[in-house]
A and B are shown apart, each in its own frame.
Chain A
Amino acid sequence: MTHETIDLAAVRERLKAGSAREFWRSLDELAGTRAFQQLVDREFPQGASEMRDPVTRRTFLKLMGASLALGGLSGCQFALKQPQEKIVPYVRQPELVIPGKPLHFATAMTVGGFGVGLVAESHEGRPTKLEGNPDHPASLGSSDTLAQAAILNLYDPDRSTGVTAGGNASSWADFVAAAAPLFAAQAARQGAGLRILSGTVTSPTLVAQIQAILAAQPQARWVQYDPNHRDQTLAGAQLAFGTPLTALYRYNYADVVVALDADILSEPGVGVRHAREFAEKRRVSKANKQSNRVYVAEPTPSTTGFMADHRLAVRSALVEPLARALALELGVAGVAAGAALDAPHQAWVRAAAADLRAAAGRSIVAVGESQPAIVHAIGHAINAALGNHGKTISFIDPVEPAPGGQLAALQQLIADLKGGAVELLVILESNPVVSAPADLDIAAALPMAGTSIHLGLYPDETAALASWHVNAAHFLEGWSDARAFDGTAGIVQPLIAPLYDGKSAHELLEALQGGSRTGYELVSAYWQAQGGANFQAFWQQVLNRGVIANTSAATRRPAITGDLGAPPAAVGDGLEIVFRPDPGLSADPVYGNNAWLHELPRPFTKLVWDNVAMVSPRTAERLGLASGDVVQLDLGGRTVDAPAFIQPGQADDAVTVHLGYGRTRAGRVGSPDGAAVGFDANQLRSSGAMWFAAGVDITPLGRTHQLVSTQGHFAMEGRDKDLVQHGTVAEFIADEEFLHHGAHHEVLPLFPLHDYSLEAQRAARTSGHAWGMSIDLNVCTGCNACVVACQAENNIPVVGKEQVALGREMHWIRIDQYFSGDLDNPAVYNMVMLCQQCENAPCEIVCPVAATVHDSEGLNNMVYNRCVGTKYCSNNCPYKVRRFNFLQYVDETTPSLKLQRNPDVTVRARGVMEKCTFCVQRINEARIDSQRLGQPIVDGSIVTACQQACPTQAIVFGDLNDPSARVSALKQEPLKYTSLDVLNTRPRVSYLAKLSNPNAELGGEA
């Protein structure tokens, strides 16, 4: 792309000239820049760069850790080689294992140290899919992108496969022989030179183990530093209540939510729960027309901001004055006034305050971790003044064993390292070289330890600096336990023996102490010690449910005791830089090599395989930036080069960068051949400004970086009726049918349509089912959990940045995003798009070999074996949900990746079309069960992968011929609509319209 700035003033004019609900396009397109024109007009190849030779093709195949034999014709066999392995049946049938029938086990993972309950699906001993555990408070049966993608980490061929000493291969025995004496030597010195560094640990067993070490070696220190730490949140509670407390928010009781820079719906470890409870209040229907009202002030678009009825795009530093103004407006005592607000912000504060006051006891003011302690304290004071404590908010003692102060502890550790005080450093499953702020320069300090031991899943940046690296067991490989955000303990149950003989943290500490107990022995011994008369029965029940009953923390009723009179912080001048975890990779470096997350279209940008420096349209205009321009970000002398991206909805004068990219030793996906994918935003981060800082300088470098997104056009083009139908709650209350007025033309088919009714199916002696789906766009947050869940369930390959750039991504379900209205703070609409399973499917009649056909239950089936790949079906699909294997995308050679595949779903080869099947394998599983037991398939027994993952339960699947099915009821809702009615495709997927609930005082329009 040539460097050309967008004439945003002209864009605004053009938007203004349109109708009130003018929907618009991606900025480049709207402005009609030459850069954009070139992007679209690249009719003629610009030289040999377009040459897609097999070598470049291989590079993306390598992403999944494999190379495919393409060399000669002998190697290709049109990529249809049959496996050569002999298949041997079990000699002795293991208990419970029925070949072909998956087993499900409760387990848990940790996010930011907090347990998230999972149910793992196991096929003949290999876990293939993770779902939420309905009994676990952090999951309630749903999951997020990390929970869905974690399974790929288990099978990642780039995982660390053995113990290394100084980079050379070694063994566990050698390690124990070398390290145990060092540990013993420390014990003799009361641990003066021993330091243990870990992320946040909530595992009761591990906490007990470490505390036992600390008790025996009182001068040893345990430092927790987690990339998702909650220092400011806990400091805020300390300030307000005099003691660090964890607030538990119950959004299902909150009619009004004010989120101050708080992405409550994506909060690590608890976001899924928040989203579920939030949706309970957000969902509207014939029966319940009340919706909550959400105010959000944030610097950069988030899923929470997307759900807002009134969203303010403000710099992070301006959130504090907003909080102060809100407190003053509500008459909270003792809060000093902040900087003056401009008129729209004042109006926002007044409206929010009025709504909060009216919903006293039924509201929540939430503050995000990125805000300083005083803002948290003010938030607590507001909630207390509104009487929300004990109603929508409860408090518990922090679940973390050493709450808060993680950054300070890390700084002390580095000081100790530099002072030469650390003789033995044990790093437990964390990668501080990547996640600690750059000014600490931990990479320079780590080698100063006498001996450092790194336990980790990957041979990563920290491993490279450690004297010893021990390959860790994935959480599906080793026993452990973890507490959830509310203290509920759960067991981390392994499903597979360690693939590379990895060790858990429990086992490492045990070995250092000279013990030889296994992880299982340690964990079960801990819980046995917790009492309980009948341990075996207790343990069986715990393993069965995954959670340990009655372990949630006791609630407290604190009073505001702190002094909130701290003078307002100065609002820094100049551009503000905002740090956020990457919405795909997350803040935790352990996901840096996860191809599913790399290729996950990020909310709002739909970018893949990159992070960017987001600027608002107005700021871009001022700085003369276009998306893709590489800029140098300079914060106090530290610099990184980053591609700029113009993000509508971004606060002016704020640059958002995402943490998690720019890795050097992530693996072949995250850092192919040692070259970073994306840039390392952490290089700008300092311990004094972990989440935002003022005074960043932007210098365009005059070159561009190719950014690839899965969507290029974000305007609805006046097609709202077929895309996202939307309105307000007030309109809905006034008239249920408000969406369906106006001219409605019945589309009359030329030929009689197939009758799928129960009567007709009885006559035809077919099963009687008619599968259908309803998607509630009103509660869809666009979190992407469904996208990864589908990828994991259906063996969907990753194709790499180059192929996505060509428009060949393979996701079966996608979240389309449309923007409308104001360029600077647009309304955003999500539309979940997947195969609509049309009853009158246009794809079917055009296939010359009948590879896509309808069954009696109304499913549009894709017969991969029959497909010759004419691609005509895709051309004739108005929803463009079909995906084609233009090349051999699936890695058929890497052994570990084969283990992950769902055996119930065909692995598609090159040249075959594919698409959403409504998880037909799950339907068939239920059908087999029903036929075996002679019982009908009950509603809810078939759950599609996307539905199962969805935190807000926006997706409901079921039998339309069952009048009592939930989906049947949802199809009768007045907000129901289907896409592209005019084509008479008769989709089986229907949507519920998106409603906003704006405050009339703020002009009504959200």
Chain B
Amino acid sequence: MQSSPIDKPAVVETTDAFLGPKQTLASVTAKIGDIVLTPLRKTPFGWPIGFVVAAIGLLVYLYSLVVLFTVGVGIWGINIPVAWGFDIINFVWWIGIGHAGTLISAILLLFRQDWRTSINRAAEAMTIFAVACAGIYPLIHTGRPWLDYWLLPYPGTLGMWPQFRSPLEWDVFAVSTYATVSVLFWFVGLVPDLASLRDRATNIWVKRFYGLLSLGWRGGARDWNRYEMASLILAGLSTPLVLSVHSIISFDFAVSQLPGWHVTVFPPYFVAGAVYCGFAMVINLLVPIRRWYGLHSLITMKHFDLMGQVMLASGLVVAYGYVSEMFYAWYSANIYEYFMIVNRTAGPYAWSYWALIIFNIVIPQLLWFKRFRTNIPILFLISICINIGMWFERWVIVVLSLHRDFLPSSWGSYTPSVWDWTTYISSFGLFFFLFFLFVRLLPMISMFEVRDLVHKMSGKHGAAPTGPSHGGEA
């Protein structure tokens, strides 16, 4: 067993490369693999604390679900006219976060972007956990959640099929397909690393655990060949899904006739927004991990710089969406559309609209400057702002559109109840519970891909094996 992999504070930041200096195949494997294989008592102090806090959050989450199922959705603040509230806001918010992972893994893989290797594993894990958090909301937001299975097309004695014209029905397929493919892609990508862990583990039970998960991987050329094939196929499958999931989520709104929902720009604008907050969440997760586990040489400033650029670009698409909504409202000459914008900008909830503009559009303009993109604290804060801003975007879409629609007599207001907040905040418990388990049990950075990168960057293409080397021999 090697010494603790935690770096001492004197860190040299690398800004122009995807790897720090003096990285070798062995050092990469040791650094990443030993985080997992270190005995629990030697794990950095933050992990058990964070894990326990997250577990408590998870328990609160489970408790709030029990209350919800026992008493009914009336414990929330929803009403008529605002029949959707935190449930749908948070569903869309979480699923938006769950976009960056697959985008990084699949689309950047297809585009041969090498910089993805250090961050894709964690981003994919984040995707899956966020999709899990998101997927629970539509299941629990129904009045009679024990009948949710009626949304599945199954040949039952009722002789009834779901109603395929409803966007909620499309959601069922979009989200479940996305979750399935994301899990598969993630797991397939894990297999070579699981084998490395199996080989490096000294404890027999740990060895068996990883041995079982690594599906008998031996690192042979045939294994690698098949791995590459599967990986490419799954990347090819995932890529359209990244675009389709949030497009379909946006149809939940766009297909309706409600001013503020019925907007044709929603699909691209939702996808861009998802990428936007997904990357922000990746940064929010990687910054502390990188610091706690001393991964400065694997996740470099260049990564953050590039992620900042992606956020800037997607943020501008989102801004275009806001502007186009205003334009439509004016150009349509429809009093209801027009009022929707007036109500957003000057109505009783105008503060939330302006908060959205500030968090989502104004503050992220700092990303134009490289010195902010490569300043970790500022980038971290900008990312938090983007996550808050994207939450407000869903708040604005859901609540501000619903609370004042066509007939002024039915206008209302919406106040989240304590249970709305409890369910939302404690859903982070689920997310971080899973994430803490992930960083402890699985290699959070793809070891074999980073080794491949080391090899490529060393410039000695002929000297090393063509495939990423099999772990364990270092």
Interface string of A828-845 (1 = CB under 8 A from B): 000101000000001001
Judged by DSSP, the binding face of B is loop
Q: Are B406 and A980 in contact (CB under 8 A)?
A: yes
Which residues on A sit within 8 Å (CB–CB) of B202? none
Residue A716 interfacial (CB < 8 Å): yes
Given contacts A717-B339, A846-B255, A910-B72, contact A869 B163 (CB under 8 A): no
Chain A minimum-CB-distance residue to B66: A73
CA–CA, A2 and B339, complex, Å: 29
Q: Are B82 and A816 in contact (CB under 8 A)?
A: no
9 A-B contacts, Cβ less than 8 Å apart? A807-B412, A833-B409, A842-B257, A848-B168, A876-B258, A887-B71, A910-B72, A912-B143, A983-B406
CA–CA, A646 and B471, complex, Å: 79
- Which 9 residue pairs across A and B have the least CB separation, nearest first? A869-B143, A911-B143, A807-B79, A886-B74, A816-B409, A887-B74, A880-B410, A871-B83, A40-B348
Which residues on A sit within 8 Å (CB–CB) of B147? 868
Q: Are B143 and A850 in contact (CB under 8 A)?
A: no
Question: Shortest distance in angstroms between B66's beta carbon and chain A's nearest beta carbon?
Answer: 8
Q: Are B150 and A722 in contact (CB under 8 A)?
A: no
Residue B155 interfacial (CB < 8 Å): no
Q: Given A78-B144, A723-B409, 7 more contacts at CB 8 Å? A: A78-B69, A715-B408, A845-B166, A847-B168, A848-B166, A849-B163, A870-B142
Question: Shortest distance in angstroms between A723's beta carbon and chain B's nearest beta carbon?
Answer: 7
Question: Shortest distance in angstroms between A362's beta carbon and chain B's nearest beta carbon?
Answer: 37
Which residues on B sit within 8 Å (CB–CB) of A48? 418
Chain B minimum-CB-distance residue to A816: B409
Which residues on A sit within 8 Å (CB–CB) of B161? 850
Q: Are A41 and B418 in contact (CB under 8 A)?
A: no
CA–CA, A850 and B81, complex, Å: 21
CA–CA, A965 and B413, complex, Å: 42
Interface string of B128-156 (1 = CB under 8 A from A): 00000000000001111111101100000
Which residues on A sit within 8 Å (CB–CB) of B349? 40-41, 43
Interface residues of A in 15-61 (CB under 8 A from B): 25, 37, 39-45, 48, 50-52, 54, 57
Q: Are B71 and A45 in contact (CB under 8 A)?
A: no
Residue B209 interfacial (CB < 8 Å): no
Residue A719 interfacial (CB < 8 Å): yes
Interface residues of B in 251-296 (CB under 8 A from A): 252, 255-258
Given contacts A50-B415, A50-B417, A848-B168, contact A882 B80 (CB under 8 A): yes
Q: Find B162's partner among A45, A848, A888 (CB 8 Å cutoff).
A: A848
Q: Are A884 and B413 in contact (CB under 8 A)?
A: no
Interface string of B52-69 (1 = CB under 8 A from A): 000000000000001001
Q: Are A52 and B74 in contact (CB under 8 A)?
A: yes
Residue B454 interfacial (CB < 8 Å): no
Q: Are A849 and B162 in contact (CB under 8 A)?
A: yes
Residue A520 interfacial (CB < 8 Å): no
Q: Are A57 and B165 in contact (CB under 8 A)?
A: no
Q: Are B69 and A883 in contact (CB under 8 A)?
A: no
Interface residues of B in 318-350 (CB under 8 A from A): 334-336, 339, 348-349
Chain A minimum-CB-distance residue to B83: A871
Question: Shortest distance in angstroms between A808's beta carbon and chain B's nearest beta carbon?
Answer: 5
Residue A879 interfacial (CB < 8 Å): yes
Residue B106 interfacial (CB < 8 Å): no
Chain B minimum-CB-distance residue to A40: B348
Residue B78 interfacial (CB < 8 Å): yes
Residue B421 interfacial (CB < 8 Å): yes
Residue A552 interfacial (CB < 8 Å): no
Q: Are B163 and A37 in contact (CB under 8 A)?
A: no
Chain B minimum-CB-distance residue to A912: B143
CA–CA, A874 and B256, complex, Å: 11
Given contacts A846-B256, A911-B142, contact A73 B70 (CB under 8 A): yes
Q: Which of the four size classes fits the interface of chain A?
A: 35 or more
Q: Are A875 and B339 in contact (CB under 8 A)?
A: no
Which residues on A sit within 8 Å (CB–CB) of B70? 54, 70, 73, 76
Chain B minimum-CB-distance residue to A881: B410
Q: Are B256 and A880 in contact (CB under 8 A)?
A: no
CA–CA, A777 and B392, complex, Å: 41
Residue A200 interfacial (CB < 8 Å): no
Q: Are A911 and B402 in contact (CB under 8 A)?
A: no
Q: Are B74 and A41 in contact (CB under 8 A)?
A: no
Question: Shortest distance in angstroms between A42's beta carbon and chain B's nearest beta carbon?
Answer: 4
Q: Are B169 and A808 in contact (CB under 8 A)?
A: no
Q: Are A871 and B78 in contact (CB under 8 A)?
A: yes
Residue A527 interfacial (CB < 8 Å): no
Interface string of A113-138 (1 = CB under 8 A from B): 00000000000000000000000000
Q: Are A886 and B72 in contact (CB under 8 A)?
A: yes
Q: Find A872's partner among B166, B417, B421 (CB 8 Å cutoff).
A: B166
Q: Are A880 and B81 in contact (CB under 8 A)?
A: yes
Q: Are B143 and A885 in contact (CB under 8 A)?
A: yes
Residue B221 interfacial (CB < 8 Å): no
Which residues on B sit within 8 Å (CB–CB) of A52? 71, 74-75, 417-419
Given contacts A52-B75, A983-B257, contact A719 B142 (CB under 8 A): no
Residue A711 interfacial (CB < 8 Å): yes
CA–CA, A79 and B73, complex, Å: 13
Residue A913 interfacial (CB < 8 Å): yes
CA–CA, A880 and B83, complex, Å: 10
CA–CA, A817 and B165, complex, Å: 35
Q: Which residues in A have some Cβ–Cβ distance to B below 8 Å?
A: 25, 37, 39-45, 48, 50-52, 54, 57, 70, 73, 76, 78-79, 711-719, 722-723, 803, 806-808, 814, 816-818, 831, 833, 842, 845-850, 866-872, 874-876, 878-880, 882-888, 910-913, 979-980, 982-983
CA–CA, A634 and B303, complex, Å: 75
Which residues on B sit within 8 Å (CB–CB) of A78? 69, 144, 146
Q: Are B143 and A39 in contact (CB under 8 A)?
A: no
Which residues on A sit within 8 Å (CB–CB) of B348? 37, 40-41
Question: Shortest distance in angstroms between B329's beta carbon and chain A's nearest beta carbon?
Answer: 15
Q: Are B80 and A39 in contact (CB under 8 A)?
A: no
Q: Are B407 and A880 in contact (CB under 8 A)?
A: yes
Residue B77 interfacial (CB < 8 Å): yes
Which residues on A sit within 8 Å (CB–CB) of B165? 845-846
Q: Are B418 and A875 in contact (CB under 8 A)?
A: no
Q: Are B144 and A44 in contact (CB under 8 A)?
A: no
Given contacts A849-B162, A850-B160, A874-B80, contact A45 B415 (CB under 8 A): yes
Q: Find A911's partner among B72, B336, B339, B352 (CB 8 Å cutoff).
A: B72
Question: Shortest distance in angstroms between B344's beta carbon and chain A's nearest beta carbon?
Answer: 14
Q: Are A884 and B80 in contact (CB under 8 A)?
A: yes
Which residues on B sit within 8 Å (CB–CB) of A814? 409
Question: Shortest distance in angstroms between B16's beta carbon and chain A's nearest beta carbon?
Answer: 45
Residue B452 interfacial (CB < 8 Å): no
Residue B34 interfacial (CB < 8 Å): no
CA–CA, A41 and B66, complex, Å: 29
CA–CA, A888 and B421, complex, Å: 22
CA–CA, A50 and B419, complex, Å: 9
Q: Are B408 and A713 in contact (CB under 8 A)?
A: yes
Q: Are A713 and B151 in contact (CB under 8 A)?
A: no
CA–CA, A96 and B298, complex, Å: 89
Which residues on B sit within 8 Å (CB–CB) of A806? 77, 79
Which residues on A sit within 8 Å (CB–CB) of B415? 42-45, 50
Which residues on A sit within 8 Å (CB–CB) of B172? 848
Q: Are A43 and B143 in contact (CB under 8 A)?
A: no
Q: Are A39 and B418 in contact (CB under 8 A)?
A: no
CA–CA, A887 and B74, complex, Å: 5
Question: Shortest distance in angstroms between B145's beta carbon and chain A's nearest beta carbon?
Answer: 8
Q: Are A849 and B407 in contact (CB under 8 A)?
A: no
Question: Shortest distance in angstroms between A38's beta carbon and chain B's nearest beta carbon?
Answer: 10
CA–CA, A523 and B252, complex, Å: 66
Q: Are B407 and A911 in contact (CB under 8 A)?
A: no
Given contacts A842-B256, A848-B168, contact A807 B416 (CB under 8 A): no
CA–CA, A814 and B407, complex, Å: 13
Q: Are A869 and B144 in contact (CB under 8 A)?
A: yes
Chain A minimum-CB-distance residue to B172: A848
Q: Find A39's partner among B69, B257, B413 (CB 8 Å cutoff).
A: B413
Residue B84 interfacial (CB < 8 Å): yes
Given contacts A713-B411, A850-B160, contact A719 B406 (CB under 8 A): yes
